[in-house]
Chain A
Amino acid sequence: MSWTSILADLIGATILFAVPLLLVALGGMFSERSGVINIALEGIMIVGALCSCLTLVGLDKSGFGAAHPQLGMLIAILVAAASGAVFSLLLAFASINLRADQTIGGTALNMLAPAFAIVLTWAVQGQGQTTILIPTWTRITQDNFGIEKADTFFQNLIFKSFYLTTVVAVILFICAYVLMYKTRFGLRLRSCGEHPQAADSVGINVFKMRYAGVIISGCLGGIGGLAFTVAAGSGFQSSVAGYGFLALAVMIFGNWKPFTILGASLFFALFKIIGSYSDSIPFLPSFKNVNSSEYIYLMLPYVVTMIVLILTSKHSRAPKAEGIPYDKGTR
């Protein structure tokens, strides 16, 4: 392989893995800036991925998917968003209405989601069948645009791993920024995460705003789950490999702000990809004398995150009221 095609692969794969991190971290941002700690993102991702993958399989079997591939993918994305939102209502209900401990509620949902996914996959696909395979038509190829295949840098960069989720992520990122900073809704949402008592005193319904925050995070988390499964490539196996938690780290590292979150997710994804491409990148050490040196590269993103979190923690500014159930009596 020439170095240009390696570079194209590297950038393409980085973007592919940055998409789920970006979406889920943005989701976490909406929830936390409204004042609800959303540790359930991992579970929300799993539920979103589960429902959308089942949808994709259904569309594949009926023949609709092969006929209208990108429309099918869009339906799957909508299903992912809807299922994530419904699942996140469980968190919203416990932490907003019942003022339960948000971390505990989230942990329960994180346990529930993979177990539910395994049980449902068994029930749908038969005993011991734990993988839901994603149909191949979901990928956007040169054929979709009527371009001839060629081994050029840009074609390698774009078409090697191009899915509708990437496009949707870019659109949603812009929407998220505008919604958070340029609309009245965004201002109100943020105020509920900083000082809900003050927000309430000027007539903002804190409960409604927090519900909105959690539901938006559910939508984004669900789509993120689908984006992860698409990126992982080996089908849905009732797990998103800790990406929900990684997205939480991205969100904190991104200081709860959209643009820094974008940077942080690209940064993380790059370090993850360097690990899996370590064999084909010439200037990286290959650790010839070490058995299973892939673990060294698997550890890399976490080590880097740790160092970055330690270095940036002084500037880190979490929403003031996050994690505290709102009680009207405390005004």
Chain B
Amino acid sequence: MKQYFKSKGFITVLASVISILVGLLIGFILLIVFNPAYALGGLGSIITKGLSSSDKFAKVLYQAAPLIMTGLSVGFAFKTGLFNIGATGQYTVGAFCALVAGVQFRLPWWVCLIAAMIGGAVWGFIPGICKALFNVNEVITSIMFNWLGLFMVNLLLNNMPMMLANYWGASNKDRTAALASANPSAIIPKLGLDKLFDSNYMNISIFIAVLIAVLIFIILEKMTFGYELKACGFNKDASIYAGINAKRNIVLSMVISGALAGIGGGIYYLSGTAQYTIVKSLLSMGFNGIPVALLGASSPIGIIFAALFISYIQVGGEALQPEYAKEIIDIIIAVIIYLSAFSLLVKNILGKFIKTDTGNVNAEGPAKEPPKPEPEKATEEKGGNEQ
């Protein structure tokens, strides 16, 4: 049994590593095609920039923290059979709530984070309740709530003069106030880490994110509550038959997923270095949660590493300018996800071998741990029910 889990984990990691290598290779080919003279240096900066100085490394950690949160948001929903494409909307609303609590109400940082969590949760709750009660596809609802969230936040910010930077003596009014001048107590504490890394970007948010990832791991893997959520995603009819309240669980999954994305927005904008800018396009940090979750195979621990990796190559990508557009990094990430869709296939083939394996175990005696439901298998299972 132990060996089987080991080998399965190994295959998952191997599949991710292969996708990453192919993605980087395609990125390198693009660099050569568009500007051969800088190609080798460009690849070098993608791979090494994140470690080139303690400031750059601090920036990797600083961007990884919200990515872990949005990745957890998408991954948690995946585990429970939902596709939360609305993480970016929940992230935006979370950021807004955190900033309102910090700037308008002058509350300390941890209260702001709770406000962010509640904001995100509310923005996840509505698609959840639409799915549970009216069976409206959560993908469509959450896409629309991305735009609704963005427009609502922009509308509200434009009508709250105290929130904007120009109220606090700065000249620009297209962004929220700098926390350092508005309310320093809302900035997430640095605990001397900024001095250690010699970087303004460093604070404890990466530790908060990792802690929450571990918490989600415990909920999903070690608690009955998490098991019920996963069971609903695996086979809704069977879990209803087993006495699980499927509708309640769908709503709860979306609420938790939204709350996670909301915290992500909170920790990014409470860092003291970021100001929310009023723009009409969706924030990419929320969308990047999707590749993080896919690359991390929806496992909370995998998501931590996936977020670090994506943040790392993004920091490298910024160094590509002006010779290349930094969106080359997005191409690399997209290729990695496209390939990870294949790796599910590899895992499914492997899963067939494992099925016979667990069958034998069951014949010998009841297995201690029931086989873990996974979203990618759910589709296969549905196909089986069809006949």
Contact = CB atoms under 8 A, between A and B. Distances in A.
A310 B144 contact: no
A235 to B, nearest CB: 16
Contact of A330 (B30, B290, B291, B383): B383
Contacts of B130: 306, 309-310
A2 interface: no
B386 A119 contact: no
B159 interface: yes
Contacts of B141: 306, 309
A327 B348 CA distance: 13
Interface stretch (B105-113, B212-220, B320-328): B320-328
A11 to B, nearest CB: 25
A94 interface: yes
A116 B140 contact: no
B4 interface: no
Contacts of A248: 139-140, 143
A119 B30 contact: yes
Interface string B373-384: 000100110111
B387 interface: yes
B293 to A, nearest CB: 10
Interface in B338-356: 338, 340-342, 344-345, 348
A278 to B, nearest CB: 14
Nearest to A249: B140
Nearest to A103: B83
A306 B144 CA distance: 8
B29 to A, nearest CB: 12
B331 A115 contact: yes
B335 interface: yes
Contacts of A122: 34, 324-325
Contact of B334 (A111, A123, A295, A313): A111
Given A100-B342, A119-B324, A111 B140 contact: no
A109 B340 CA distance: 12
Nearest to B322: A127
A107 B379 contact: no
A178 interface: no
Contacts of B376: 101
Chain B at the A interface: SS class = helix
A241 to B, nearest CB: 8
B151 interface: yes
B344 A100 contact: yes
Contact of A99 (B143, B282, B345): B345
B147 A302 contact: yes
Interface string A114-135: 1110110011000110000000
A331 B152 contact: no
B334 A298 contact: no
Interface stretch (A179-187, A205-213, A318-326): A318-326
Given A119-B34, A252-B137, A111 B337 contact: yes
Nearest to B348: A99
A330 B385 CA distance: 9
A112 B155 contact: no
A206 B226 CA distance: 38
B344 A115 contact: no
Given A104-B337, A324-B382, A295 B136 contact: no
B337 A325 contact: no
B257 interface: no
Contacts of A108: 334-335, 337-338, 341
Given A119-B327, A292-B158, A331-B387, A325 B134 contact: no
B136 A309 contact: yes
Contacts of A249: 140, 143-144
A152 interface: no
A110 to B, nearest CB: 8
A115 B330 contact: yes
A118 to B, nearest CB: 4
A249 to B, nearest CB: 5
Contacts of A298: 147, 151
A295 B151 contact: yes
A119 B27 CA distance: 11
B322 A299 contact: no
Interface in B7-22: none
Given A100-B344, A305-B144, A310-B134, A295 B152 contact: yes
Nearest to B127: A306
A239 interface: yes
A177 interface: no
Interface in A269-319: 290-293, 295-296, 298-299, 302-303, 305-306, 309-310, 313-314, 316
Contacts of B380: 325, 327
Contacts of A242: 143, 147, 282
B387 A197 contact: yes
B3 interface: no
Contact of A105 (B83, B324, B341): B341
Contacts of A293: 155
Nearest to A293: B155
Q: Which 9 A-B pairs have the closest CB atoms?
A: A115-B330, A112-B334, A100-B341, A295-B155, A108-B338, A108-B337, A111-B334, A115-B327, A118-B327
Interface of A: 39, 90, 94, 98-101, 103-105, 107-109, 111-112, 114-116, 118-119, 122-123, 127-128, 195, 197, 239, 242, 245, 248-249, 252, 290-293, 295-296, 298-299, 302-303, 305-306, 309-310, 313-314, 316, 320-321, 323-327, 330-331
Given A239-B281, A302-B144, 10 more contacts: A90-B338, A98-B341, A108-B338, A112-B331, A114-B327, A116-B331, A290-B155, A292-B159, A302-B145, A309-B130
